A and B are shown apart, each in its own frame.
Chain A
C-alpha cells in the first residue's frame, strides 16, 4: 500500500474510533437543536402560567370588550368603576395591578395613540401578545365601523404571503431570498468552523507526534512529506465523515422535532399533522410555511451547491491544514504555537467579517473578488453559491485558483515540516520558518 494511504488510514481509524469523536459527533447536533428549541419551549412554558391582572381605560367605549376577548386567558381584566389614572399608577407601582391600557378617544380614527403601562418586564413575548391583540381589535373595530361584513373580515385575515422562487438552469428553488440567505450563512459558517476545527486538530496531531518522539521512528520509515500528507488526508476524511454524520443527524432530528415541539406546546392538537406555532406568532409573519420546511430545504440544497460545499471545504481544509501542520512541526508544545498560528488564523477569520456584506450584495464586484481570491474563496464562494446564481466560470476559476494555491502551500509547508519535526528546544520564529523554507 502507498505510504500516504497507509498513514492516512491509520490516522483516520485511530480518530474515528476515539471517544472524543463519537461524543462530539452525537452531541453537537443535539446541542445545536437545543439552542434553537429551548428558547421557544421556555417562552411557551413561562408565558403560559403567569396570570396578569390588568385594567383597561377605554375612551372610545368600543374596544374594551373585544380586547378582553382577544387577550389570552392569562390576562384577567378587572371590571370596576372609573378610577383616576393616578391611583391606577399607584396600584401598578405597589404591585396590586400588573398593568393598564389607556385607549384615548380618537384611536379608531387614527387621531390618537393607545398606551400600555406596566412595571416593565414581561419580556418580548408579552409585548408581542398585547400588541397583536390590540392591533387586531382596533383594525376589526374600524372595519366594522365602516360597515363591512364578516366576509370582508375573513378575506382580510386570509393568508397572503409572497413566495419568492429563484429560477436557475438546474431547476426552480422555492423559498426565496431569506431562506437562501439563512442557508448561505449556515454553510459559510460551517466551512469556517470545520476548517478551523480540523486544521487545529492537524496541528495538535503533529505536536503530539513530535513531543512523544514517535516522529523520528516514522521518519526512518517514510518521507516527512508522506507523513504530513497522510495526517492531513486522514483527518480530512475524518472531518468529512463527521460533517456527513452531522447532516444526517440534523435532518433526522428536525424531522422529529416538529411533532415533538407541537406536543409540548399544545398537547390537545398534537394529533393534527404539521407544526403548530406558539401563540402570538402568526404563520403569515414567518418567511416560509414551517410545514413545507423539508421540501424547501431539499430545493435550496441543490446537488450543485452540495458539491460546491464539499469541494470548497476540502480545498480550504487542504490549504490551511497543511499550514497548521507546518506550525505544529515548529513548536514543542501547543502553548508555543500561538504567535505562529496568527498568520494562518487571520485569512480564515477575516472572510467571516465580510460574510454579511457578501450576503447583502452577492453579485457586487467586491463579492465576486472575495469569492475568487483563494484565501477567502472556501467560505465566500459557497456563500455566494447559496445566495445567488454564480456563473460557472467564476466557480471553476475560483476552484482552480484554490487548488493551485493549496498545492503551493503544501509544498511550502512540507519544507517547514521537514526541518521542524527534528528541531527540539529552540522556540522558532516566523523568520526561522522562512529560513527553513529557503534552505530546505
Chain B
C-alpha cells in the first residue's frame, strides 16, 4: 500500500513562486482531488510528485520512500497535455512506454492486450496512433498510464475530450483502481467531477493550499446555507430578495435558482417569497454549497487574509520607521 505524502514542498521558477509550502497526504484506496484554477500550481506539484522536477524545499514520499527513479516505476502519470508518437503503432507504443516503467516485453504485452480489451479496443493493437480519433488516443494514453499496474495513479483532467459513454467507462475503471487499493491523485478544475469522484481534496490557489480534508468535512464546514428552487412563473421576487441583501444569486436560469443565504436570512423567507410569486413550485432544497462556490469563497478569504497580512506588515514597518 502506497501512501503519498507531500510535506512543505516549495518550488520557485525564476522570480515566480509556483508552489509555496504545500502539504497533503493521499491515502491508498481513496481518490484524492487536487483542485485549483489554471496556473494555481497543480502541474508544478504533480511534476515534483512524478519526479520530473525536484522541489527547492520539502519532501515527497511514496510508501515512505522519497520519490526518485524507483518510485517512478510505481506510478503512472496522465498529463493534461496528452502526447503520443503519432507515427507509431498503438501496441508498439504502449509496449515501449510499459518497458520504460520496468516491465518485461512479455508481461507488458499481456497487460496491454488486457487493457485494450477492457476499453473495447482489442483491434487497435496494430493501428497507427495518427489513424485514431482524439477520444481513442485518449484511451490509449490512459492505458499507457495504468498498464504497469502502478501504486499511484496521477490523472490530470482525465475526462477532457471524452464523450459521456467513454467518460462513464473511465469512471468505472477509476473506481476499480480505487477498490484495488491504488492511490489516485485526480487533478482538475471541473468541480462537479471532483464532487462526484473524490474522497479527499485539496484546494490550491497561487501556489498555496487554501483548503483541504475529506470532501464531506469540507462541505460541512461551510454549512447548509444554500437554497435551490425549481418553479414556473415570474422571478422578479429574486431581484427583490437580492436587493434586500437577503440572498446572493449563484446560478439563475428560467425556472431555476441557486442562491446563498446572507446575513442569517432564514430559508423560509425565500420559500415564502417563492410561494407568493410563482405559479408552480417543484422543488425547494436547503443544502451545502456546491464545491465551486466553496472554492470561490475559500479563494476570496485567502486573498483577504493576504491583503490584511500585507497591510499589517506595512503598518508594522511604518511604525518601525516612525519610532
Contact = CB atoms under 8 A, between A and B. Distances in A.
A217 B47 CA distance: 10
A422 B85 contact: no
Given A6-B100, A7-B100, A14-B88, A220 B83 contact: no
Contact of A212 (B52, B73, B83, B144): B83
A216 B52 contact: yes
B100 A216 contact: no
A411 interface: no
Given A221-B101, A422-B47, A213 B52 contact: no
Interface in A178-236: 209, 212-223
Do most interface residues of chain A lie in helix, strand or loop, or is the interface mixed? helix
Most buried by B among A221, A222, A223: A221
Interface string A415-438: 000000010000000000000000
A223 B88 contact: no
Contacts of B37: none
Interface residues of B, number: 27
Contacts, number: 60
B79 interface: yes
A259 B97 CA distance: 52
B231 interface: no
A1 B99 contact: yes
Contacts of B97: 217-218, 221
Contacts of B50: 219-220
Interface in A316-362: none
Nearest to A14: B88
B45 interface: no
A213 B52 CA distance: 14
Interface string B212-249: 00000000000000000000000000000000000000
A216 B51 contact: no
Nearest to A432: B14
B88 A213 contact: no
B82 interface: yes
Nearest to B156: A216
A144 interface: no
Contacts of A219: 50, 52
A96 interface: no
B81 interface: yes
A212 B82 CA distance: 8
Nearest to A213: B83
B101 A216 contact: no
Interface string B58-93: 000000000001001101110101111111100000
Contacts of A217: 77, 79, 83, 97, 141, 144
B85 A220 contact: no
Contact of B72 (A10, A209, A214, A220): A220
B265 interface: no
A222 B53 CA distance: 12
A137 B20 CA distance: 96
Contact of B81 (A10, A216, A221, A222): A216
B84 A220 contact: no
A3 B99 CA distance: 9
Contacts of A221: 72-73, 97, 100-101
Contacts of B47: 216, 422
Given A14-B88, A217-B144, A422 B81 contact: no
Contacts of B75: 220
Contacts of A14: 85, 87-88
Contact of A220 (B51, B82, B96, B141): B51
A209 B85 CA distance: 8
Contacts of A223: 69
A293 to B, nearest CB: 42
A220 B52 contact: yes
Most buried by A among B76, B77, B87, B96: B96
A209 B73 CA distance: 21
Contacts of B96: 6, 10
Contact of B84 (A10, A214, A222): A214
Contacts of A222: 69, 72, 100
A216 B83 contact: yes
| 5 smallest beta-carbon distances between A and B, as pairs | A213-B83, A214-B83, A221-B100, A220-B77, A220-B50
19 contacts: A1-B99, A3-B100, A6-B96, A14-B85, A14-B87, A209-B83, A212-B83, A213-B82, A214-B83, A214-B84, A216-B77, A216-B81, A217-B141, A218-B100, A220-B51, A220-B52, A220-B75, A221-B100, A221-B101
